[in-house]
Structure 1
Amino acid sequence: MSKWTTGYINHITHWTPSLFSLTIMADIQPFIAGQFTQLSLEIDGQRIQRPYSFVNAPNQNTFEFYITTIEHGKLTPYLQQLQSGDQIQMTHQSTGYFTLNEVPDCETLWMVATGTGIAPYLSMLQQKTDLARFKQIVLIHAVRYRQDLCYLPLMQQLQRFYQGKLSIQTVISRESYPNSLYGRVPQLIANGLLEQTIGIPISAEQSHIMLCGNPAMVNDTISALKQRGLSKHLRRKPGHITSERYW
């Protein structure tokens, strides 16, 4: 059974009508970048809980979560209404294996996300450790509309910090926007446009691809990568693809 800790809302940022970030102060056990915790509220006498990945690095003092409001959802509409000082419950211990220590050495590490699936990569990149073993890192954030690129300024800040080691690319599926690719990640891999734009090839010999977010994107991208000779990574059978589905 999970041990729960009471946290307090430090800040809430409303990015769009359906996207927001919560910053929480709480006393929990240390986590590994890429892991997730459970957030919960008591609603109508019942504990409602959902898993959320950390945006912040493990060495930061407050905990940040990037959340999509689900219309008629059991929890997210209530999370969106929280204000500074409000209480929230978090699991004392975090979990999950979508972490860099599970990724084998390679020349190019691809971090591919849709929507709020960008969170674990931001945690890893802000932690700034266990990345020296990769020659290049590519961060892909795919969204529906340009207004959903809420963390693009942080992505650009991290790109400057890594001084040429980190490439970033945004992908928008429902409108065109300068410097963003138009379409869906699986098709952009299948037709070669993603690699052509970034200037870095995907191959079984040089690449490891992390996928996080929409299950349809994850499944379709895995299929596209398998056509290129890449395989899923397992502890008992090393491969080239690590994935985490966000629902």
Structure 2
Amino acid sequence: MTDASAPASPPSAAPPRPSPFHEGRVLWVRHWTDQLFSFAITRPEDFRFRSGEFVMIGLPGAEGAKPLLRAYSVASPFWAEELEFFSIKVPDGPLTSRLQLIQPGDTVLMGKKPTGTLVLDALTGGERLHLIGTGTGLAPWLSVARDPETYSRFGRVVVSHTVRMAADLAYREFFEAGIKDDPLIGEEAAAQLAYYPTVTREPFHHPGRITDRIRSGDYFRDLGLDGGFDPARDRVMLCGSMAMIKETAALLEGFGLREGSNAEPGEFVLERAFVG
């Protein structure tokens, strides 16, 4: 029989909720121009992703405030020990105005669930893979182009990068030379990878928008490809400006290519999360 006058036991404290974010330590930062920079953070031991996927990235907010997050493609291949990202700088941007100031040792928040359609799983089999990007839309190609499966599935891989000024061609030296020294895929990249930069606002050996060069046929002539895109052989991934993605997707459909997804692979894919 209990003593009704005995004090009640205090309720047990609820266990703390697990954080929805990983906390990554900044390893290095590289400023390409006054508008572009890259950085890398430590990779959590339990973080797994497919080359080409994106995650949510943010910075710790003030006490009690929710962090501001943005979607960033992982620029590292799935096997890398560190996680690399490629970003624009927006002077008054809610996130990038702060993110561009990070230094090695700082903390960056990263979502725990990578996702996206810019992955090999979303494409059917083919012979040639075209990775077409503008600006920081190059980021997923840095991942896909360093994945051994890319070279086992496709005999030829083209990385196309369109920017306004030649100085904006971040990673140009890597795609022209550095990737060929990669210990895992360097030999395959040297034999199978072509880098195709285009510049829209100053003289360059490949001038103009990638869509104009596809439409004119210059893209195919420059690369020694016959005709246009062939649904039986060509597979395409698109990332970058909304205008480029929509225009290029319409061109691809005109060639007879069908958009794919993780659930239903096709001949080309784009990232709907970035296009809206």
The alignment's TM-score, normalised by the length of structure 2, stands at 0.82
Instruction: Give the match for residue 209 of structure 1.
Output: 236
The one-letter code of the counterpart of 2:49 is F
Unaligned runs of 5+ residues in structure 2 are 1-17
RMSD: 2.0
Question: Which aligned segments of 4 or more residues in structure 1 are displaced greater than 6 angstroms?
Answer: none
Q: Does 1:192 align with 2:209?
A: no
Q: Distance in 1 between matches of 2:110 and 2:261?
A: 30
Matched, 1:35 2:53: yes
**Correspondence for 2:126:** 106
C-alpha deviation, 1:55, in angstroms: 1.0
- The 1:114/1:2 distance shift into structure 2, 3 A limit, reads farther
Secondary structure of 2:145's aligned partner: helix
- Among candidates 52, 74, 84, match of residue 94 of structure 2: 74
1:127 aligns to 2:147 (yes or no): yes
Partner of 1:173: 200
In 2: Cα distance, 1:198 partner to 1:170 partner: 12
Per-residue CA deviations over 1:14-62 (Å, capped at 9, x if unaligned) read 1100100111114251111111111111345341011111111222211
1:197–1:159 Cα change, 3 Å: farther
**1:38-49 to 2 correspondences below 5 Å:** 38-44=56-62, 45-49=65-69
String of CA shifts for 1:121-173, please: whole Å, max 9, x gaps.
11122232243121211111111110011111111233573232111110111
Matched, 1:224 2:251: yes
Instruction: Give, in angstroms, the shift of residue 235 of structure 1.
Output: 5.9
TM-score, scaled to structure 1: 0.91
Pairing partner for 2:179 from 153, 158, 161? 158
Residues 135 and 47 from structure 1, CA distance in 2 versus in 1: closer, same or farther, beyond 3 angstroms? Answer: same
The structure carrying a bigger strand percent of its residues is: 1
Could you report, residue by residue, the CA deviation over 1:76-98 in whole angstroms, capped at 9, with x for unpaired residues?
A: 01000111111111112322221
Q: Is the Cα–Cα contact under 8 Å of residues 54 and 72 in structure 2 kept in the other structure?
A: yes
In structure 1, what residue type is equivalent to 2:173? P
- Shift of the alpha carbon at 1:238? 5.2
Match of 2:269 among 233, 242, 245: 242
Counterpart of 2:213 in 1: which secondary structure? helix
Instruction: Give the match's secondary structure for 1:126.
Output: coil
What corresponds to 1:94 in structure 2? Answer: 114
Structure 1: tracts of 5 or more residues without a match = none
Letter in 1 for 2:145: L
The separation in 2 between residues aligned to 1:35 and 1:235, in whole angstroms, is: 11
Measured in 2, the distance between the counterparts of 1:222 and 1:32 equals 23
Which of 48, 51, 76 is the matching residue for 2:71? 51
Of 15, 27, 31, which residue of structure 1 is paired with 2:32?
15
Pairwise CA distance, 1:226: 2.3
CA distance in 1, matches of 2:31, 2:265: 40
Comparing 162-171 and 1-10, the one that deviates more: 1-10
Contact 2:260 2:269 in 1 (8 A): yes
Quick check: 1:233 aligned with 2:260? yes
What secondary structure is seen at the aligned counterpart in 2 of 1:55?
coil
CA apart distance, 1:177: 2.1
Q: Would the alpha carbon gap of residues 40 and 151 (structure 1) be closer, same or farther in structure 2, given more than 3 Å must change?
A: same
Identity %: 29
Contact 2:116 2:271 in 1 (8 A): no
Q: 1:42 and 1:236, CA in 2 relative to 1: closer, same or farther beyond 3 A?
A: closer
| 2:167 aligned with 1:147 | yes
- Deviation larger for 74-83 or 163-172: 163-172
Secondary structure at the aligned position of 1:110 is classed as strand
Distance change >3 Å, CA 240–CA 81, structure 1 → 2? same
**Number of equivalent positions:** 245
User: Which of the two has higher C-alpha Rg?
Assistant: 2
